[in-house]
Chains A and B, each alone.
Chain A
Amino acid sequence: MRVIIEQAKCCGAGQCVLAAPDIFDQREDDGIVILLQENPSEESRADVLQAIKVCPALAIRLEG
């Protein structure tokens, strides 16, 4: 599976990091999302789906 983020839409709420700290991080000052793993293992699927669900900006997608 492949995680895709759109930094331009991200509002830095950090919800994705709360949901999946192994996959997402934030820039220190403005909180914009940073992708730690583009192709995480299958075990992380539930966490990534949770992050997609809580992201207010709809800035995260999952392919595969």
Chain B
Amino acid sequence: MRTVIVVGGSAAGLAAVQSLRREGYGERILVIGAEPHPPYDRPPLSKGFIANNLPFEHIRLGEQALLDELGAEWLVPARACELDLERRMLRLEADDRLRFDGLVVATGVSPLAFPGPSPHGVYTLRGLDDAEALRTALASAPRVAVIGTGVLGMEFAATARKIGLDVTVIGNAPHPLARQFPAAIGELLAARHREAGVILRLNAPVAGFEETSGHVSGVRLADGEVIPAELALVAIGSKPNVDWLRSSGLPIGDGILCDARCRAAPGVYAAGDVASWWHSGYGARLRIEHRMNATEQAGTAVKNLLGATEDFRPIPFMWSDQHDVKLQSYGVFPASGEMEIEGDMASGRFVALCHHQGRVVGALGWNAAKTLRQSRMRLAEAMEDIRLDEPTLTFA
């Protein structure tokens, strides 16, 4: 292979470049990245970057020296807009055409917008530019409304509360993190948020926004009630960045549909939030929107691009910081799973195990990172024996 192109210059893209070099690939690497910034870490954007006013240097992934050492050509900002599989050609928005022998797609996801028109003051949060705009807007002490009770929405609510603002979280689920974890965890988290002064409006579908001279003044619920707010964050999920691949013939569904080795087509691999792949351990198709997976998956995808034949069978891992709670989880939490608490839920430190088909398949730590890690072995053993009910699981 003379040229490997990596599309997407963030967590998975950078990990792909690192893995290429680590595995001994010495030829040309081209990175096409839509953002103008050097690679940076997204998780702090909803946490310390806003709450503690962190400088960019703090969230950068890899110093300049490390990037230089890797010897890849970074074409940024540049956007890939078409893939010709037959001629092994990539077209950029600027109309350049680039030939490749191997391709790694790591284009991530974009936040879903709220349907209908959004006045000024309504934000989504995915990248550095979003976080900087939010940081500036939060400085004028608006009342904050967060739409969505997933990980991102709850983290942002905790952050806005930490800097002293009035915060209301609105969602149609019965408790936070309803798609990720069993109800008991979500309810405990809801209690922690209320204790910290966050107002939660659960089971409350949003109808739209109220505005005054083009700027948001409130969030209107389906029953007509208006929650006053000068700043609203929409955190209702995201969609894989695959539109540019629609004409390519690559299998596209909820993400790029890869096989068990992260391969989408001969010589074409995907990694990170955008990649859906067949997890041969769980016997299910997964797509994971978590940081750890971006690094791990890029590593395996690249090895396979270079000739290995390894299935990608990770134990999914995620973490989230909300108020003084450090949540971490390994494994999977099927809706039909049963929870068992190790330790005292009220103590502010415990591990919750998720049982499914007679095995422990998921483990969640609540301020118990170290103890949690010890349950990881059990999850690896169980992986072989269980089958997940859902055909597709998205961890987000």
Contact = CB atoms under 8 A, between A and B. Distances in A.
B168 interface: no
B373 A27 contact: no
A17 interface: yes
Contact of A17 (B317, B326, B373): B373
Interface residue tally on B, bucketed by range? 20 to 34
Interface residues of A, number: 21
Interface string A45-57: 0000000011011
A13 interface: yes
B367 A29 contact: yes
A6 B220 CA distance: 44
A18 B295 contact: no
B326 A30 contact: yes
A46 B4 CA distance: 27
B296 interface: yes
Nearest to A34: B370
B369 A26 contact: yes
Contacts of A62: none
A28 B370 contact: yes
A25 B373 CA distance: 11
Contact of A18 (B291, B328, B371, B373): B373
B295 A31 contact: no
A36 interface: no
B97 interface: no
Nearest to B318: A13
A11 B369 contact: no
Given A29-B369, A57-B41, A13 B61 contact: no
Contacts of A58: 61-62, 66
A3 to B, nearest CB: 16
Contacts of A53: 18, 22, 299
A57 B58 CA distance: 11
Interface in A11-33: 11-15, 17-18, 25-31
A37 B272 CA distance: 33
Contacts of B22: 53
B369 A27 contact: yes
A9 B349 CA distance: 23
Interface in B13-64: 18, 22, 41, 43, 58, 61-62
A31 B43 contact: no
B291 A14 contact: no
A11 B349 contact: no
Contacts of B349: 29
Chain A to chain B: the 5 pairs with minimum beta-carbon distance, closest first = A31-B369, A29-B367, A56-B295, A30-B326, A14-B373
Given A29-B367, A31-B326, 16 more contacts: A9-B41, A11-B291, A12-B328, A13-B317, A14-B373, A18-B373, A27-B369, A28-B368, A29-B326, A29-B369, A31-B370, A53-B18, A53-B299, A56-B291, A58-B61, A58-B62
16 contacts: A8-B58, A9-B41, A13-B319, A14-B370, A18-B373, A25-B370, A26-B370, A26-B373, A27-B370, A28-B370, A31-B319, A31-B372, A53-B22, A54-B296, A56-B295, A58-B61
